[in-house]
Amino acid sequence: MRVVAMLMAGGAGTRLTVLSDYRAKPAVPFAGKFRIIDFTLSNCVNSGIYDVAVLTQYRPHSLNTHIGIGKPWDLDRQRGGVHLRQPYLGRATGDWYRGTADAVYQNLDFVLDKQADTVLILSGDHIYKMDYRPMLAFHRAVGADLTVAVRNVPLEETDRFGIMTVDDEMRVIEFTEKPPNRDKGTLASMGIYVFNADALVEQLKATHLEVLDLDFGKHVIPHMIGQSRVYAYQFEGYWVDVGTIHAYWETNLEMAQPVPPLDLYDPDWIIHTRDQEKPAAKIGPQGQVVNSLISNGCVIRGTVEHSVLSPGVYVSPGAVVRESVVINDTWIGPGALIDTAILDAEVVVGPGAIVGYGDDQTANQEQPDRLNTGITVIGERARIPGGVRLGRNVLVHPDRVESDFPDPVVPSGETI
C-alpha cells in the first residue's frame, strides 16, 4: 500500500477571533510549546507516513516558518517528506481553494506523482493522538472506496457535526450534515478520510466543474454513499476541535491537570514540534506555580495557578496568573492580575492592571456568539496600561496601545 497524506491547513479560524488575525488556525500555539498542527503531523510520522502535503491558504507565513523543511518531524527527506502547497494562479489552471475537496482537486498532481494507491485526508486543526495504521488496515480489509473516521458524540451536540448512519458491518447508508432534529444517531465524522486513490481522482474530476465550492462533507461523501463502498471506522480515543475560544481555553487548561486527558509525555507517541532556542524556565524566590504548564524561557517571579504559559513569558513579582493561557514572550507587570483570559504573543500588561475582573458575565457586544463564557482575549502586541481594569468577555484587538484605553475601567463585553 502506497499511502500519502494531505493535511487541510488553510482555515481562517474566525471563531478564534484575534488569535487567528495574523496566523492560520493550525499555527495557533497550544499547550505551551506546541502548535495545533503538530498533533496531526506527529500522528503521520508516528504512523509511518512520510509523504505529506500541507495545503495552506489563509495567512500561511507563520505556518510555513514553523514547518520549514519538516526536520522536527523527520520529514526533511529526499524521498517523501513534507510539501507545503499553496493556491496559485497560472495561465490555464489554479485558483483560490473554494472548499476542502477543491483544495485536494487542485493538488491531485501530488497523488499522481507519488503513484499513491491510498490517500489519507486530514484536518490540521484538531487535538488528538491517533495511529492511522489500524484504520488503513480496516479500509483495505473491507474493500472500501472511502473510509470515514467517526466517534460518538453526546446527542445534544450532534447538530454541530456530520452524522453517519451505518449498518451492522459499519457500511455508511446515510450521511447528514449537522442534523437539526438529532435523530440520526451519534456517530460524528472526524474529518479524517481514507480514499482509494483511483476513486478519489475519479470522483473529484467528475464533480469539480458542477460544484465550485466542492467540499467533502457537503458534496463528495453524500454523492459516494449511493454508488461506492463507503465505510465508517470508529475511533475511541481523545479528540477535540479547538475551533472556539472556549474550547481552546478549556482544552489548554485540561493539559495542565495532574492527569490530563491527553498524555503529552508519552515516550512511545512523541508530539514533535519546532522548539524555540530559549533557556530553561526559571522560578524566582517569590515565584509559585500550581498545576500549570511552564515552557522554556519563562521567568516566574509571581504566582501562576492552573494556567498554560508558552515560551518566553515573564511574570513579575506580585503578579498573579490564574486560569489563563499566555502565549509567547508576553510580559506581565508587577502586581497585575490575569484571571480567565487568553493573552496572545508579545502582549505587555502594565503594573497593577487587571485582565478579567468582577462577576459581570455580559457577552461581548460585537461578537456575542464567540465571547460569552467569561474569557477575556488580548490580541498580539497589545499594551495594557498600568492600573486599567478589564472585565469579562472583553476583546482587545492586536497592536492596541495605551492611548486606546481612555478610561481606567473597560466593562464586561466591551471591545477595544
Cβ neighbours of residue 19 closer than 8 Å, sequence gap 6 or more: 13, 28, 245, 248, 342, 344, 377, 379
Beta pairing, strands 288-290 & 187-196 = unpaired
Cβ neighbours of residue 262 closer than 8 Å, sequence gap 6 or more: 127, 128, 129, 238, 254, 255
Confidence of residue 348 (pLDDT cuts 50, 70, 90): very high
The mean pLDDT of 357-367, rounded to a whole number, is 95
pLDDT of 197 higher than 80: yes
The mean pLDDT of 297-309, rounded to a whole number, is 98
Whose CA is closest to 317, among 335, 292, 342, 295? 335
How far CA 249 is from CA of 252, 256, 296, in Å, comes to 5, 11, 20
CB 313 within 8 A of CB 276: no
Range list of β-strands (E), 124-246: 126-128, 146-152, 162-166, 172-177, 187-196, 230-234, 239-241
Residue 90 or 208, more confident? 208
How far out from the chain centre does Cα 290 lie?
26
pLDDT of residue 91: 45
pLDDT of 183 higher than 80: no
Is residue 407 classed exposed, middle or buried when 0-12, 13-18 and 19+ CB atoms within 10 A define those classes? exposed
Range list of β-strands (E), 221-324: 230-234, 239-241, 282-283, 288-290, 293-294, 299-300, 303-305, 308-309, 314-315, 320-322
H helices, E strands: number in the chain: 8, 32
Confirm whether pTM is higher than 0.85.
yes
What digits encode the pLDDT tens for the residues 223-279?
899 889 999 999 999 999 898 999 999 999 999 999 999 999 999 999 999 988 899
The mean pLDDT of 32-39, rounded to a whole number, is 96
CA-CA distance, 354 to 22, in Å (whole number)? 25
The single-letter DSSP state of residue 71 is G
pLDDT of 87 higher than 90: no
pLDDT of residue 244: 93
Residue 100 or 347, more confident? 347
The mean pLDDT of 365-387, rounded to a whole number, is 97
Whose CA is closest to 188, among 180, 176, 196? 176
CB 379 within 8 A of CB 328: no
What digits encode the pLDDT tens for the residues 5-16?
999 998 877 889
CB 105 within 8 A of CB 95: no
CA-CA distance, 82 to 177, in Å (whole number)? 32
The two domains 3-247 and 277-416 share their CATH topology (first three levels equal) = no
Q: Which residue has the cell 473554494?
A: 98
Sequence length of the chain is: 416
- 158-167, 280-289, 346-355 — which is least confidently predicted? 158-167
Q: What is the grid cell recorded at 171?
A: 457500511
Confidence of residue 379 (pLDDT cuts 50, 70, 90): very high
What digits encode the pLDDT tens for the residues 155-178?
888 888 889 999 999 999 999 888
Would you state the CATH architecture of domain 3-247?
Alpha-Beta Complex (3.90)
CA-CA distance, 300 to 286, in Å (whole number)? 8
Confidence of residue 130 (pLDDT cuts 50, 70, 90): very high
Domain ranges, ordered by start, for the chain:
3-247, 277-416
- CATH fold of the domain at 277-416: UDP N-Acetylglucosamine Acyltransferase; domain 1 (2.160.10)
pLDDT of 90 higher than 80: no
